[in-house]
A and B are shown apart, each in its own frame.
Chain A
Amino acid sequence: MKEITILSGKGGTGKTTVTASFAALAKSRVLVDGDVDAANLYMITPHTVLDEHPFKGGGLPKINLDLCSDCGDCITRCRFNALEEGPTLNRIACEGCGVCAYFCPEKAMRVCGTWYHSISDNGPMIHARLGIAEENSGLLVAVLRREARKQAEATGAPLILVDGPPGIGCPVISATTGCDAVVVVTEPTLSGLHDLERVAELTSFLKVPAMVTINRWDIHPMMAERIHAFAKEKGMHHLGDIPVDEEVTAAMVKGQPLVTVSDGPAARAICSVWEQVLSFLDEKRGSLKMAL
């Protein structure tokens, strides 16, 4: 079983568009929406939710006032000043650390959240949506990946695809650590390059092989060249690039992966990029192409 995480560094480069198309092209896979902050993958991946599950440490404390003796212990202990007289929780300030629940002498507080197991065309999809201003997106991503591995074992799927979050912080580290390879979807802009440099540092730090594709490469072909040179220098495998194509937004409006509703230039480019991903994995990590 192989696990590929799709990253970008910079937001809005087309990670989710590319991931949804990869998921449509891979005949048997488990799909994970690891961008729990702005979970968009489900919007272009037709699916049915099978079941919901709670997870520990994934959210804010729930306070049972019937059990509370109003001792104020939680208020004193909280380092984030998230509890006030009552006690009432300041959802924004809360870090989800669970110190209040752990020390509560009346056991009046508990910490728990929810994730979903769904079925889509080519296999299961594991996703969640963080409540607004909730903490612990990294922990939630780790839970989703663990469930995806269980599903892959149960269904015999040879591949897990993780749609990662933007940036290089907590949820990105959580989405990337221990996966077999990363596909970075970038764009030919100075910001795209700068952010790619930081992603490259992270993947090298985590010792995960990285591949690169440039979305909308024809916006600035010279910057695309600079990105190719950078990728080569860092030993990141270049997968080929994706051109500007109005059908990308059209497919998003239809709620479908690009490759299922279009055979335009961007869709064809993504198919070719996907072939390159499989070839790269076959060379590096044994035959996945055969299994798919």
Chain B
Amino acid sequence: MNPANGEVNAMMITIASGKGGTGKTTVATNLAVAVGEGVTLLDCDVEEPNVHLFLEPESITRTPVTTMVPKVDTELCVQCGECSDLCQFSAITLVAGELYTFPHMCHSCGGCVMACSAGALTEGTRELGELEIGQCKNIELISGRLRVGEAMSPPLINRVKEAAEGRPLVIVDAPPGTSCPVIAAMEGTHYVVLVTEPTPFGLHDLKLAVEAVRVLNIPFGIVINRADAGDDRVVRYAEDEGIEVLLSIPYSRKVAEYYARGRLLVEAMPEMADAFAGMVEKIQKAAQEGRP
């Protein structure tokens, strides 16, 4: 398999999980290394991007990313309060005859600009963070890095994905959870790998993540990390729901120690390299069957 030679169709695989700390980044980085030449890895966990700690990219270019926020012309404002009534996010408020904006609360819906009949509001911008593009040997790494203090990650995540347009094989490392940033990472991709662990929290959050992927109607499978550390509840759930278990990674203190040092799982357990390569093939098969 060599995506650089066009043997693989344009394909995006998202690595997600409901619960944090289950091993998303471990799966994403090791999968990318298993594919090697021609793969693009996106770090869409823009609040806490960690992929670079394991792959250490070189020759990085950085570009600022911005979004729309209202700009107020106080001379024109008639203090009618329409914008402040409309805003669901308290990002624009009329207090004692003065209009205040809180750009960090703004979701860029444009409602205030539309509602302003006095023409006092226009579209301005605010910086969300940075887009970083680098190269780690034969792997291209594109990361988003949210500005600290910035609340809105989905627009930045979308920009990271746009930056990977036209690449033959893309692996997306998603943030944890099941809400807006995760959905932004998964949307429009061809397959989702849900990484979980065999504990009550792991299963609870896996179920939420499965619901989210089903809403998006994307084919998916699961990876069970630290597979022997809890009980068999995740395996039973997968059997009941007919979900494919793509890979089980055994718990190993050595892996945990390698991870702690920013080193890859396949370095600690070279015997897993084939399993990751095999997983890519399983995914490509499942994604093609799953597509209408």
Interface set of A (CB-CB < 8 Å, partner B): 8-13, 16, 36-38, 40, 43, 56-57, 77, 79-80, 91-92, 95-99, 102-103, 111, 130, 132-139, 165-170, 172-174, 187-192, 194-195, 198, 201-202, 205-206, 219-220, 223, 249, 252-253, 255
Known: A11-B20, A12-B20. 6 other contacts (CB 8 A): A38-B201, A99-B109, A134-B179, A167-B47, A202-B148, A253-B200
CB distance from B196 to the nearest CB of A (A): 11
B10 at the interface (CB under 8 A from A): no
A92 touches B216 (CB 8 A): yes
Q: Map CB proximity to A onto B151-193 as digits: 1 under 8 Å, 0 otherwise.
A: 1110000000000000000000001111111110001000000
> CA–CA, A137 to B182, complex, Å?
12
A133 touches B179 (CB 8 A): yes
B257 at the interface (CB under 8 A from A): yes
Which listed residue, A98, A99, A137, A168, touches B47 by the CB 8 Å rule? A168
Q: Knowing A80-B109, A92-B187 touch, does A170 contact B177 (C-beta < 8 A)?
A: no
CB distance from B259 to the nearest CB of A (A): 6
B150 at the interface (CB under 8 A from A): yes
Interface set of B (CB-CB < 8 Å, partner A): 18-22, 25, 45, 47-48, 50, 53, 85-86, 88-89, 104, 107-111, 114-115, 146, 148-153, 175-183, 187, 199-201, 204-205, 208, 211-212, 215-216, 229-231, 253, 256-257, 259-262
A170 touches B88 (CB 8 A): no
Which listed residue, A92, A103, A133, A166, touches B20 by the CB 8 Å rule? A166
Give B110's nearest chain A residue, CB to CB.
Answer: A79
CB distance from A11 to the nearest CB of B (A): 1
> CA–CA, A218 to B114, complex, Å?
56
Give B18's nearest chain A residue, CB to CB.
Answer: A38
A190 touches B149 (CB 8 A): no
Q: Knowing A40-B205, A135-B180, A202-B149 touch, does A253 contact B231 (C-beta < 8 A)?
A: yes
- Closest 10 CB pairs between A and B? A11-B20, A12-B21, A37-B177, A97-B109, A167-B47, A220-B260, A170-B151, A190-B262, A99-B111, A189-B260
Jot down 25 A-B pairs with beta carbons below 8 A, ordered by A: A11-B21, A12-B22, A36-B179, A37-B176, A38-B201, A38-B205, A38-B208, A43-B201, A57-B89, A92-B183, A97-B107, A99-B109, A99-B110, A132-B212, A133-B178, A133-B215, A167-B175, A170-B152, A190-B259, A191-B25, A191-B262, A198-B48, A219-B253, A249-B229, A253-B230
Residues of A contacting B179 with CB < 8 Å? 36-37, 130, 133-135, 137
> CA–CA, A187 to B259, complex, Å?
11
Q: Knowing A12-B21, A111-B88 touch, does A173 contact B200 (C-beta < 8 A)?
A: no
Residues of A contacting B114 with CB < 8 Å? 77, 99, 103
> CA–CA, A201 to B25, complex, Å?
23
Q: Knowing A97-B109, A166-B20 touch, does A191 contact B47 (C-beta < 8 A)?
A: no
> CA–CA, A91 to B262, complex, Å?
38
> CA–CA, A134 to B182, complex, Å?
11
> CA–CA, A198 to B85, complex, Å?
34
B19 touches A191 (CB 8 A): no
Residues of A contacting B260 with CB < 8 Å? 187-190, 192, 219-220, 223
Residues of B contacting A111 with CB < 8 Å? 88
Residues of B contacting A133 with CB < 8 Å? 178-180, 183, 212, 215-216
A220 touches B107 (CB 8 A): no
A191 touches B187 (CB 8 A): no
Q: Knowing A79-B110, A92-B183, A173-B151 touch, does A223 contact B261 (C-beta < 8 A)?
A: yes
Give A78's nearest chain B residue, CB to CB.
Answer: B109
CB distance from B114 to the nearest CB of A (A): 7
CB distance from A156 to the nearest CB of B (A): 30
CB distance from B84 to the nearest CB of A (A): 12
Residues of B contacting A201 with CB < 8 Å? 148
Residues of A contacting B107 with CB < 8 Å? 95-97, 135
> CA–CA, A116 to B239, complex, Å?
33
Give A130's nearest chain B residue, CB to CB.
Answer: B179
CB distance from B175 to the nearest CB of A (A): 6
Which listed residue, B48, B88, B153, B212, touches A9 by the CB 8 Å rule? B48
Q: Knowing A11-B19, A98-B86, A138-B151 touch, does A43 contact B48 (C-beta < 8 A)?
A: no
> CA–CA, A8 to B19, complex, Å?
13
Give B112's nearest chain A residue, CB to CB.
Answer: A99
